[in-house]
Structure 1
Amino acid sequence: MFGRVLFTTFLFYTFISIGQLAYSQSCGETLNIARESFNAGHLYEIPSILKPCLDNGFNKDQRIEAYWLLTRTYLFIDDPISAEDSYLKLLKQDPEYIIDPERDPIDVVYLSRKFKTTPIFVLYAKIGSNLSTVDVIHNYGVDNTSTSAEKYKGKLGFQFGAGGEINANDNISLGLELNFFQRNYTYSNILFNSDNQTFQENRTGIDIPLFLKYRWDFVKIRPYVYAGVGLNYLLSAKGTVKLIDRVGSDEEDLTEIPVTGPEVDLKPIRKKINKFAHFGAGVNYRFGYNYLVVDLRYTAGLSNIITEDEQYSNSALLYKYGFVDDDKRLNNFSFSVGFVKPLYKARKIKKASVKGFFSRIF
């Protein structure tokens, strides 16, 4: 019984597939007939020839060609409204359709200039790695800071996030992102000419960058540059500190006493919100109607990340390790890859009653 049902189902879908294939081939022949009618100058019959398969039958490529043929037909018979309607339907099928002024008829070139295909909004997601650097504003310590041997070194971290852009025109857009980050740096110093001190800070937080972007269009490849400002919000800051205390009177025969302990919570002595400026460059690579993106960015801290009033408040840092935070800004280099989704909306350009940014977009 089960085998009979299975066999019947197989036959049913086989017949459907054969019927669809035959209908597709029939619509392919319909498109050939429409082409021949256009070349022969029998223009008025073309819309009725194409209508059944446009309603149900053409695949996407056939539909694009059919609307292209209808556009040219309506322009020839002096029906500009129907020509515009056909060209708009073509753009809805292929928002990235490109007119070649040297190849395409001049009347279609002029018609294409009445339409806008640039996506109003663009959404994307990115993930990548980063390297932090430190700018010292003012040096602090428990010994003579004028002879300090302190050194800062960046360590790799990571970030991921998402963002969106609103396009003013084909080249300029305004963007906003929300990114989660994990950033690290290390510090080393020599206290009292002999004690080795090391410190590593691991920070997590959220960046909210705002930027203005300019891009170039080379069809498949679209490079861009951008610059802007933003805020970041600190979620956590942990410090790992180690001190090698060298004890003795003879410099060649010192006893080394390592001083270690658990991670120190640095958040109470860190500012929760910090300002930054950033600029970067990247390239979008088109596949289909979406893009892969590679992005390089430099973020420059604009504010001291230390809460000055709490600088000496952590007794473990101060008395156990002899560590006092410098006033400092945190900078960052980042590399990201991601996926870009343009939200296309082909539309006819209308004369804006109010000049400005939003009227140019909408």
Structure 2
Amino acid sequence: MKTYLLIIVIILSALTLRAQTTCTDILKQAQRNFDEGKLDEIPQMIEPCMKDGFTNEEKMNAYKLLIQTYLFNEKPEQADQVMIRFLKEFPSYEIAVNDPTEFINLHKTYRTEPIFRIDINAGLNYSMPSVTEVFGPGNLNLSSISYKSMLGFNLGVNYTDRIYKDFDIVVGVNFSIYNIDYSDFQYDYTTVTGSFKSMFVGFPLAANYNLNLGNIRIITRLGVETTYLLSSKMDFTKSFRSGENPIKSNEDIKSCFKQLDFKPTISLGFPFKLSKYEILPTIGFKFSTISPLKDRLKYPIESGVYYKYNFAPANMLMNQFFFTVSFMKPIYNPQKIK
């Protein structure tokens, strides 16, 4: 059975190679006919190979040859029909320096920019807590409370649409996990350590400016992201210097914080093409504007973990550095513009 399958594969491969070789020869002959001014037979020669007889590069050259043929034969409608086929199959094509002048001139009469883009992005964030007020049991001068930055994770989807010349509007939805390290060396006999893990959903609204510097393209983005706190938990460990077994637990502290925040955002992206898609590495910064701690919880005694860990959450702004990589899918709808 395996022998038969192998034979079939070899035969199909040979037939495919033969068909491609034959179509390659036909394209060369059609080009010679064009150079000699024998235009009438060119469409009949090329069209049978357009479905699966050419490589991508040959197919692009065949389209260009067809367009030139129809234009020289004063058949602009047929040339337009072929150009539409070309742009639907190769929507992200960029004019090359050696492209025929007739092809270039016709190409300029079509809308070739994407009408919008959809992207999926993922990356890392680095939370930078800026503590404005510390709370805790007893005399805070005898404690050493600190909050340290840690890495988190981002995942999102964005919709980008061109609004004017080089300006885009961007809307989307993001899911983020923020992590912060906590430690408090309490008195002379206990130490409390832990890590915050907070999950947010965000709704960014931003404007892009597309800056082209030769072959380098830079996307500058300025906007605001409305975030909503989905969960906030903390892994506590209370250690005793006397050698007693430590106390550990995971505590839900979401009720301590406000759910909404509005984060101004600025970023720089450096897109590049990968086949029919675009990859967009981005670095940026989000500014926290609202102190998240609820007013009624600005006293240690009101925190649910006060007695167990001598803990009360601090008031802080949660600024954030982030790095993401976006996989962008441009959506095209080529149309005649003049």
- Note the 1:187-336 alignment, pairs <5 A: 187-188=182-183, 198=193, 200-216=195-211, 222-241=217-236, 260-312=247-299, 314-336=302-324
In structure 1, the partner of 2:69 is: 73
Identical columns (%): 27
Q: What letter is aligned with 1:273?
A: L
Distance 1:89 1:216 in 2: 30
Aligned counterpart, 1:354: none
Partner residue in 2 for 1:357: none
How far, CA to CA, are the matches of 2:48 and 2:331 in structure 1?
A: 30
Structure 1 residues 170 and 22, CA, compared in 2 at 3 Å: closer, same or farther? Answer: farther
Question: Is it true that 1:339 corresponds to 2:335 in the alignment?
Answer: no
Instruction: Give 1:197 shift.
Output: 5.9
Matched letter for residue 79 of structure 2: A
- Secondary structure in structure 2 of the residue aligned to 1:26: helix
Pairwise CA distance, 1:11: 4.7
- The amino acid that maps onto 2:233 is K
Alpha-carbon deviation of 1:50?
1.9
Match of 2:44 in 1: 48
* Unpaired stretches in structure 2, ≥5 consecutive residues: none
TM-score, normalised by the number of residues in structure 1 = 0.78
Of residues 297-306 and 147-156 in structure 1, the stretch that sits farther from structure 2 once superposed is 147-156
Query: Taking structure 1 as reference, are residues 230 and 27 closer, same or farther at Cα in structure 2, changes over 3 Å only?
Result: same
Measure, in 1, the Cα distance between the counterparts of 2:239 and 2:51: 81
Mark the runs of 5 or more structure 1 residues left unpaired by the alignment: 247-254, 351-362
Alignment check: 8 A CA contact 2:171 2:206 kept: yes
Match of 1:97 among 79, 93, 97: 93
Paired residue secondary structure (1:309): helix
Judged with a 3 Å threshold, the aligned counterparts in structure 2 of structure 1 residues 197 and 19 are, in CA distance, closer, same or farther, namely closer
How has the CA–CA distance of structure 1 residues 78 and 192 changed in structure 2, closer, same or farther, with 3 Å as cutoff? same
Match of residue 151 from structure 2? 156
Q: Against the structure 1 CA distance between its residues 120 and 224, is the aligned structure 2 distance closer, same or farther, given a 3 Å change threshold?
A: same
Letter matched to residue 210 of structure 2: R
Query: Once the two structures are superposed, what CA deviation does each residue of 1:178-231 show, in whole Å capped at 9, x if it has no partner?
Result: 332221223455778998665542212222222222234579764322121112
Deviates more, 1:192-201 or 1:271-280: 192-201
How far residue 119 of structure 1 moved from its aligned partner, in angstroms, is: 2.0
Contact 1:143 1:192 in 2 (8 A): no
Q: Kindly report which structure 2 residues correspond to 1:118-129, keeping only aligned pairs within 5 A, or say none.
A: 118-129=113-124
Instruction: Give the drift of 1:40.
Output: 0.9
Moved more, 55-64 or 142-151: 142-151
- Hey, what's the Cα distance between the residues in 2 that align with 1:244 and 1:19? 75
Secondary structure of 1:263 counterpart: strand
- Matched residue, 1:179: 174
Distance 1:197 1:210 in 2: 39
Rounded to whole Å, the distance in 2 between the matches of 1:341 and 1:263 is 41
Q: 2:53 is aligned with what amino acid?
A: G
2:132 touches 2:315 (CA, 8 Å); kept in 1?
yes
Q: How many residues align?
A: 337
Output the aligned Cα RMSD.
Answer: 3.4
1:284 partner letter: P
Equivalent-residue separation in structure 1 for 2:321 and 2:229 (angstroms)? 18
Secondary structure of the corresponding residue to residue 57 of structure 1: coil
Amino acid at match of 1:91: L
Structure 2 Cα separation of the partners of residues 258 and 58 of structure 1: 74
TM-superposed deviation, 1:258: 9.5
After TM superposition, the structure 1 stretch with the greater mean CA deviation from structure 2, 193-202 or 311-320, is 193-202
Displacement, 1:281? 1.3
Displacement, 1:14? Answer: 4.1
Does residue 25 in structure 1 map to residue 21 in structure 2?
A: yes
**Cα distance change of structure 1 residues 147 and 278 upon mapping to structure 2, 3 Å threshold:** farther
Query: How far does the alpha carbon of each residue in 1:258-303 deviate from its partner, in whole angstroms, 9 at most, with x for none?
Result: 9844232111111223221111112223221123332212111122
The letter of the residue matching 1:124 is D
Structure 1 residues 39 and 145, CA, compared in 2 at 3 Å: closer, same or farther? same
| Structure 1 residue 25 displacement after superposition | 1.9
Q: CA deviation at 1:63?
A: 2.0
For the residue of structure 2 that corresponds to 1:324, the secondary structure is coil
Could you tell me how far 1:114 is from its partner in structure 2?
Answer: 1.4
In structure 2, distance between residues paired with 1:47 and 1:206: 56
Q: Give the TM-score of the pair, scaled to structure 2.
A: 0.83
Once residues 161 and 206 of structure 1 are traced to their aligned partners in structure 2, the CA distance between those partners, rounded to angstroms, is 9
